[in-house]
Amino acid sequence: MLLDASESQLVLVDYQTRLMPVIFEGVAALANAMRLAQLAKLMQVPVWGTEQNPSRLGPNDEALRALCDRTLSKMHFSATEEGLGEWLRPPAKPQGAQGGNARSLPKHLQKPAALENERSLIVMAGCEAHVCLLQTALDLIEDEFDVWVVTDACSSRTERNRDAAFDRLAGAGAELVTTEMVAFEWLRSCEHPAFKEMLALVK
C-alpha cells in the first residue's frame, strides 16, 4: 500500500530545544522533520506537533513549530493520553447532518459518520524514538490508525535505543519509511504541480 496525501496527517513528536543537542544524529533528524513539514504544507496535509514537559525541555524548534497547525503540550509520554487522538479523529457529526445519498444505501453499506472524511494514515517522526514516539505510535495503532514511522527523521539519545524502537514498531504493525519515500508517494507523479518544489526540498 502506498501513502495517499489526501488520507494522511503528519505528527512530529518532541523536537525540543533542550533535548535535541543530546540526540544521536539529532541535526539530521530535525532537518528531515523540517522537510516533512514543508512537504506536508505543499500537499495540504495537516501537521501536528507535540512537546513533552516544555517547561523543562523547552519548546519545539522554532521553525518547525511554525509549520505545525497546532502543538500539544503534554506530560504523559504518549500524546494520545492527552488528546492527540481527538485532533486526528474529530468527533462525528450528528446523524442529522448526514447527506441523503448515504441514507438511501442499505444499512450494511453505510459508512459511519466519523469515518466519512477521516485521514487515517498517520505519518510520524520524533524524539525520543524509544519513549514518546514509540508510546504514541503504539497507542495510535491500538486506536486503529495506520501508522507510518519516518525513520530518518527519528532518533534517541543512543543509536541502540532508536533501533530497538524501530524493531518494536515494525513488530506492532507500523510501516517504516524514509522522508523521500513519503515525498514521492504523496506526489505519485513527476507531473504533479509540486514536483519541482519537492525535489528542491529533498536534494
Which residue segments constitute the domains of the chain, with CATH numbers given?
5-88+113-202 (3.40.50.850)
Kindly tell me if the per-residue pLDDT of 114 is higher than 50: no
Average pLDDT taken over every residue of the chain:
91
How confident is the model over 115-135, as pLDDT tens digits?
A: 556 899 999 999 999 999 999
Q: What is the pTM of this model?
A: 0.87
Kindly tell me if the per-residue pLDDT of 73 is higher than 50: yes
Query: Can you give the pLDDT at residue 110?
Result: 54
- How far lies 187's CA from each of 4, 182, 198, in Å? 8, 9, 9
Kindly tell me if the per-residue pLDDT of 82 is higher than 80: yes
Kindly tell me if the per-residue pLDDT of 98 is higher than 90: no
Kindly tell me if the per-residue pLDDT of 28 is higher than 60: yes
